[in-house]
Structure 1
Amino acid sequence: MVISLVYFTLFFLLFLVLLYFWVFRFKGGNLSAFDLQNWPKVSILVAARDEESYILTCLEALSQLDYPKDKLEILVGDDRSQDQTKHLVKNFILDKPFIKLVSITHDVAGTKGKANVLAQLAHLATSNYYFFTDADIQVPKTWVKSLLQQLTGRYALATGITTVTGSRWFDRMQALDWLYSLGLMQVVADRGLPVSTMGNNMAITRQAYEAVGGFEGIPFSITEDVQLFSKVLKKGFSSCHVFSDSVLALSAPAPSLRFLLHQRKRWMRGAWLLPWYIRALLVFNSIYYPVWVPFFSYTSLSTALLIGLGKVLLQSIFVMKAVQRAGRSMRWYDVLFFEFYLLGISILLIVYYFLPFKINWKGRLY
């Protein structure tokens, strides 16, 4: 019982501190006016494999960027797609010379999958700034300007925020999960500590990318973005996170629970590359229920329920603030359902992570 009481005390103190910084000391959305007079050329790298359902939406968003088209270079790498992805891209770019289609037909030594595609696209890029997004992502018009603002300052790597679209209950829970997790990381990032990055919403200077040897110069990982982030930090470069609707990328939701579990298992593999304090925060937050449930045997039901409601209240305030700052909307009662979603997903992920199944990603097994 003493251990449980200590844990709960630490848990609530941690959440109160996080909530305090999130509400009163938030910095992630404070972007100053972008005032570059001479726009630098930028390269946007997109890996695509069997993305016929999303690729046109992605390219349409990129073509609408509020950035001079003569300073924009968009490279789309078709990774041996078996569907109509290549054909759709070819037709879309007929009148858009700033978008180029690159057919990926071989693997660069030391790389596989997405890392291989991005490594080859980076070799073809002609700018000093590389932007990365996925083929199922829609970026806002201000995406390049807002992240570039960070790269032309003191940072070598900048990361935006992402959430998912969709009206189904499962989609809405995923959207809250994204913003909740990114909000927790943003609180840490605002204290000047590096946290992580996301390959669907990331920008990096050419100098930092080449300093680590690119994707072919780092150990292969199915979370190639986190591996790159880790190596860039070790080279002494700095990074930042931007929690703002000016860099909010919209992703297609995981269509099924099985797909989501494959996705999260892949991310959990990459979590071991994160700084220790981020791993500790994620673990501390995920073991709430394994400690809370046994607490029933030491105290009354009313006390246990009061503690549970306290956790839900603090978490709900945090989630609602995250949604608000991302410029999104939500149904108020979804924060209540979100607690059950987190509980269920956490249990399933712990079990699924240790099952001897390979990860199926884009038709390849890892």
Structure 2
Amino acid sequence: MLFSLVYFVVFFLFFLLVLYFWLFRFKGRSRKQELVANLPKVSILIAARNEEAHILTCLAAIDRLDYPKDKLEVIVGDDRSEDQTRALVEIYRKDKPYLICLAIEENLPGLKGKANVLAQLAHHATSDYFFITDADIEVPRAWVQSLLAEVQQGLAIVTGTTTVKGQNWFARMQSLDWLYSLGLMQVVADRGLPVSCMGNNMVVTRQAYEAVGGFEGLPFSITEDVQLFKHVVQKGFKTGHVFDKSVLALSLPIQSLMELLHQRKRWMLGASQLPWYIWALLVFHSMYYPVWLPFFLHASLGTMALIGGGKVLLQSIFIKKAFKRADVRIGWQDLLYLEGYLLTVSLMLLLYFFLPFKINWKGRLY
């Protein structure tokens, strides 16, 4: 029995080592692609609900974009906000003709929430490129140019990189978690495989969007971005990810553990739409502790420390490489804290996922 456990754990660690070295092989993609001389008009779609504390920061970042304002249209959809979101946008847009705000008062058949807002904003958009972000996101100056450069290489839907801003411990752990997960997905995308997308940092062509019937032509999902991505891929369109500081958007951190559990449960529901090889990667990665703990019942403290330290070291080197690619600094001590954070959140989420609680998202229950 002990020999079998040792054999299995050694095999698992060897496979983990091989996997991580494969993941280390980030492609050295150049971000110096040049756009055509005549820049196309683009549409930025933003669904906003009760975002009075964040919407102006979001719009100010968009105003700083390195993109001609006469080639830009920004459409904010006020999703029946109960605060001053719409009033703030109306004041802000007075000297910005490229910006409009639409009141979303009704649901299209079969739609609700963000999917409903984006579907109606797409009806008003006049360009062939739909850039989508959230009202609590700050996009970088080169955001449009960099994602558009990928589209002009023949891709129909492209996702950028998003992380969490903030200096407190909880915010730093969320930032690590985001970039670690996106780094794992990026190396798969770098090998030409469809992965997924993020509805706070993406662009989809009108052609691909209309080919799937828009959001109103898709089965409703609380993760509307993953649903759109899945059907665009099924239509045969090419997709891409960009893991680079030129498209690194900043999101506000989750403020409480309960709010974090609601967010992650929503993500887990959307994960059912991911390709099988992403599921395989996630399952393999999550197998570490189920494999580890039975072995430790028969192992010494020294062996436990050696195996655990090896896992954390490989994980930390990969995260360091990912953060370097995104030009984000990280302290080594946070890499040690991350292991405890991931284990704690994963165990709590595993329990919370199966409890009969609805997801609270933007003040609505799903």
Q: How far did 1:33 drift?
A: 2.7
C-alpha displacement at 1:238, in angstroms?
1.0
- Find the residue that maps to 1:261 and give its secondary structure: helix
Name the SS for the 1:333 alignment partner.
helix
What one-letter code is carried by the residue in structure 1 that aligns with 2:69?
K
Give the structure 1 partner of residue 20 of structure 2: 19
By how many angstroms is 1:264 displaced? 0.3
Secondary structure in structure 2 of the residue aligned to 1:31: coil
Label 1:215 to 1:9 Cα distance change in 2 as closer, same or farther (>3 A). Answer: farther
Please report how far the alpha carbon of residue 30 of structure 1 lies from its aligned counterpart in structure 2 after TM superposition: 2.6
Report the CA distance between 1:3 and its aligned residue. Answer: 6.3
Q: Is the 8 A contact 1:157 1:205 kept in 2?
A: yes
Measured in 2, the distance between the counterparts of 1:139 and 1:15 equals: 35
d(CA) in 1 for partners of 2:28, 2:263:
26
Q: Is the 8 A contact 2:9 2:295 kept in 1?
A: no
1:244 and 1:27 map into 2 onto residues whose CA distance is 12
Map residues 284-363 of structure 1 onto 2, 5 A cutoff: 284-363=284-363
> Given that residues 29 and 244 in structure 1 are in contact (C-alpha distance below 8 angstroms), is that contact kept between their aligned partners in structure 2?
no
Q: Counterpart of 2:256 in structure 1: which amino acid?
A: S
Residue 88 of structure 1 aligns with an amino acid whose one-letter code is L
**1: CA distance between counterparts of 2:9 and 2:183?**
21
Q: Which runs of 5+ in 2 are unaligned?
A: none
Alpha-carbon offset, residue 315 of structure 1: 0.3
What's the counterpart of residue 256 of structure 2?
256
Query: How far apart are residue 325 of structure 1 and its match?
Result: 1.1
Secondary structure in 2 aligned to 1:101? strand
Structure 1 residue 27, shift from structure 2 partner: 2.0
Cα displacement (A) at 1:296 = 1.4
| 1:14-61 Cα distance to aligned partner (Å, 9 max, x none) | 4434433444x3226432332310100000000000001110000000
Q: TM-score of the superposition, structure 2-length normalised?
A: 0.97
After superposition, the C-alpha distances for 1:257-304 in whole angstroms (9 at most, x for unaligned) are 111000000000000100011011112212311221221123323212
Q: Does 1:59 align with 2:47?
A: no
CA RMSD of aligned residues (A): 1.4
For residue 129 of structure 1, what is the amino acid of its counterpart?
A: Y
1:204-283 matches, cutoff 5 A = 204-283=204-283
Query: CA separation in 2, counterparts of 1:350 and 1:210?
Result: 37
- Which whole-Å CA distance do the structure 1 matches of 2:22 and 2:203 have between them? 26
Q: Offset of 1:11 from its aligned partner? A: 4.0
Q: CA offset at residue 340 of structure 1?
A: 0.5
**Compared with structure 1, are the counterparts of its residues 12 and 188 closer, same or farther at alpha carbon in structure 2 (3 Å cutoff)?**
farther
Provide the secondary structure at the position in 2 that maps to 1:94: helix
Q: Distance in 2 between matches of 1:319 and 1:217?
A: 38
SS of match in other structure, 1:210: helix
Provide the secondary structure at the position in 1 that maps to 2:115.
helix
Distance (Å, rounded) in 2 between the aligned partners of 1:253 and 1:299: 39
Residue identity over aligned pairs, in percent, reads 63
Q: Deviations over 1:312-348 (max 9, x none)?
A: 0000111111111111112221000011001101101
Q: Do the aligned partners of residues 289 and 76 (structure 1) sit closer, same or farther apart at CA in structure 2, a change above 3 Å counting?
A: same
CA–CA separation in structure 1 for the residues paired with 2:3 and 2:282? 23
**CA–CA distance in structure 1, aligned partners of residues 80 and 181 of structure 2:** 33
- C-alpha offsets along residues 121-159 of structure 1, whole Å, 9 cap, x if unaligned? 000000000000000000000000000011111211100
Report the secondary structure of 2:158's partner residue.
strand
Stretches of 4+ aligned residues off by more than 6 angstroms: none
Flag the 1:79–1:16 CA change in 2: closer, same or farther, 3 A. same
Return 5+ residue gaps in structure 1 as ranges: none
* Residue correspondences, number: 365
| Aligned mates of 2:292, 2:4 — CA distance in 1 | 11
